[in-house]
Structure 1
Amino acid sequence: MENQVFSDLKIENMHILDAAETRSPCPKCGRSRKYFCYTCFVAVGLLQGRIPLVKLPIKVDIIKHPNERDGKSTACHAAVLANDDVTIYTFPCIPEYDRNEVILVFPGEDAVSLETLIQDQSTCGTENVNSDLNSTSEDAPKIAVHKKDDSTNNSIEHPSIGSSEENRVSDSCSRNTDVRKRKHGLDNADRQYSSIESDELDRDGAPEERVNAEPVAKKTKTKPMPTFSKVVFIDSTWKQSKTIFQDERLTDLRRVELKRHKTNFWRSQDSRPDTYLSTIEAVYYFLCDYHRLFVEEEYDGQYDNLLFFFTYMCNKIKFSNPKGKFK
């Protein structure tokens, strides 16, 4: 079929979905479902054990508005296909989040791209390190210094955090012994190195070629470590979403938006721009960006199957409905 959506992605064959013509009972709750149970997040009927499963690089929480119909929500796609890493909560029953560990994906004035978030955190981290270094040098405890007073033959002690005189003398002796040992070791190492160096020189003073020399490994540029361990998404209509993202448990979270991607969602978006994605699209595109920025392994479609159900429904609606939309 021509012009199918996501035709360039590595999504498993969806013919098994065509074979599921009738509804089947959920193996957990017993309710009648078509492809999967959107309450228990498991496949039903012919699809049991035959749908792709996806492993995610980060934990995902999805907060669903109580008025959002489960059967129409795309959030359940993620919970079914990546059940080990995705948790769905129904608002207002949501956890308390640590802003240092969690980010929220939702558009808005104070939302930034994932790349910008990394740059901001890197700059903030550098400032914190410099601040710590300055405070360390200023606030470090002063070490006791003993000066000999020739006139009184007494010691002058500067204030410090320390123990008894015997302990200080013992520590001083230990340090002197350690210094002598290290110096002795360095002297031996210097003589040993000089001997090796001279042996490697030929009569003309040129170094001999090392036959078994180890090849020098090339330094590879490593990707930065993420400053968060969980990402939160909101699953609701745009009118309903305001109630959720203004909740005090979410307002303090760093916010990220995805502007570079266009939606293929078939339902009306209330005149919103086409960069406003459905929930499963947002999860997928975020993970692709996350992989590109943080995961060393090259991306090879590891998360494409998150769109397994979404792609099937998109194409089915597109070619069965001339307008490609329904409410």
Structure 2
Amino acid sequence: MENSIVDNRDNYNVILEKQNVIDREPFRLLKIDDASGLDSVEGRVVCNKCHRSRKFFCYTCCTPLIDEKYIPHVKLPIKIDIIKHAKEIDGKSTAIHAAILAPDDVTIYTYPEFPVFSQDEKVVLIFPGKNSISIEELFSINNENNKTNNDSKNELLINGYPITRAVFIDSTWHQTKSIYKDERLRSLPCVVFKSRISQFWRHQRKSPRWYLATIEAIHQFLIQLHDSAYGTIDNYAFNDISTPTDKYHGQYDNLLYFFKYMYEKIHTMYDHDELRAYKRPLI
């Protein structure tokens, strides 16, 4: 028993040491546009819709308030619906980043508002439900269906993916469980993905660092979905990808454009090691 405890402690220390290295440059391996131009945007702007003063974008109306040249446009392979708990504070949520950066593919709903799905859509809920499956299993099930129906892979997959839409819940874990009781959500198949260590600067009580901010979760899910379909180019951030390729090479990394910018601003004002959010346990 003592040896087991020591081994677990040693393993955790190794993980902690590796994460400390990553935390020094957490976005180094990603292709995210330079956001320094946002520094030239002075003051706040009054939103034409709600008439409230905002910076860069209105998180209430999901509307950009600055010149489009400052905002990269991200095209996603599937549609993303975000269902936000009514008590979730708009200004503290990162869900708005997805709606601003990928406006053609992301829609935010405030519960009990709910997206309407057509019959031909293949929709999943990103939630660790009782019968949830992994992204890899999602592809495997699709391949088995192909064999059963004698259909080719391309006939059942939509642009190489077994789904057309994914639903995320934006709320605290306690609020999420209350939303999940809704039959409209419980009827959807649940999918989970491999998490990573969050770089979100807001402290969440009783949550380890692998609890991701909403924008981090969407980014992580899309990367794994793309990788399962086409693979990923190793160290793509340091390579000049001149030849067209279906493999992942940073196509969705700009979803973290505002997240990275705000992260860096926070870290100019506070020491990383002193922020409570980064003192949470890794596992």
Length-normalised TM-score, structure 2 = 0.74
Output the CA distance in 1 between the equivalents of 2:163 and 2:49. Answer: 34
Matched residue, 1:43? 64
Aligned partner of 2:140: which letter? Q
Matched residue, 1:8? 29
1:62 paired to 2:88: no
Q: Does the CA-based 8 Å contact 2:78-2:163 persist in structure 1? A: no
Match of 1:83 among 103, 113, 128: 103
1:103 counterpart SS class: strand
Change (3 A) 1:100 1:36: closer
Instruction: Give how far 1:41 is off.
Output: 2.0
Matched residue, 2:131? 110
Instruction: Give how far 1:105 is off.
Output: 0.9
1:273 paired to 2:205: no
Greater mean alpha carbon deviation, residues 226-235 or residues 101-110? 101-110
Change (3 A) 1:325 1:35: farther
Correspondence 1:167-316 to 2 at 5 A: 225-295=160-230, 297-316=246-265
Instruction: Give how far 1:38 is off.
Output: 0.8
Q: Does the CA-based 8 Å contact 2:125-2:166 persist in structure 1? A: yes
1:249 counterpart SS class: helix
Over alpha carbons, which structure has the higher Rg?
1
1:307 counterpart SS class: helix
1:25 paired to 2:46: yes
**1:118-157: CA deviation from partner (whole Å, max 9, x where unpaired):** 213333554x438xxxxxxxxxxxxxxxxxxxxxxxxxxx
1:72 paired to 2:92: yes
Change (3 A) 1:252 1:62: same
Q: Does the CA-based 8 Å contact 1:259-1:275 persist in structure 2? A: no
Length-normalised TM-score, structure 1 = 0.64
Q: CA RMSD in A?
A: 2.7
Output the CA distance in 1 between the equivalents of 2:276 and 2:259. Answer: 14
Change (3 A) 1:39 1:103: same
Aligned partner of 2:28: which letter? S
Instruction: Give how far 1:75 is off.
Output: 0.4
Percent sequence identity over matched residues?
Answer: 47
Output the CA distance in 1 between the equivalents of 2:267 and 2:130. Answer: 33
Change (3 A) 1:125 1:279: same
The runs of at least 4 aligned residues of structure 1 exceeding 4 Å deviation read 96-100
Instruction: Give how far 1:283 is off.
Output: 0.8
Q: Does the CA-based 8 Å contact 2:138-2:162 persist in structure 1? A: no
Higher RCO (Cα < 8 Å, 6 or more apart): 1
Larger helix percent? 2
Structure 2, gaps ≥5 residues long:
1-22, 231-244, 278-283
Q: Does the CA-based 8 Å contact 1:41-1:76 persist in structure 2? A: yes
1:61 counterpart SS class: strand
Q: Does the CA-based 8 Å contact 1:258-1:275 persist in structure 2? A: no
1:324 paired to 2:259: no
Aligned partner of 2:57: which letter? F
Output the CA distance in 1 between the equivalents of 2:132 and 2:260. Answer: 28
Aligned partner of 2:266: which letter? I
Aligned partner of 1:316: which letter? K
Matched residue, 1:123? 144
Instruction: Give how far 1:286 is off.
Output: 1.1
Change (3 A) 1:236 1:260: closer
How many pairs are equivalent? 233
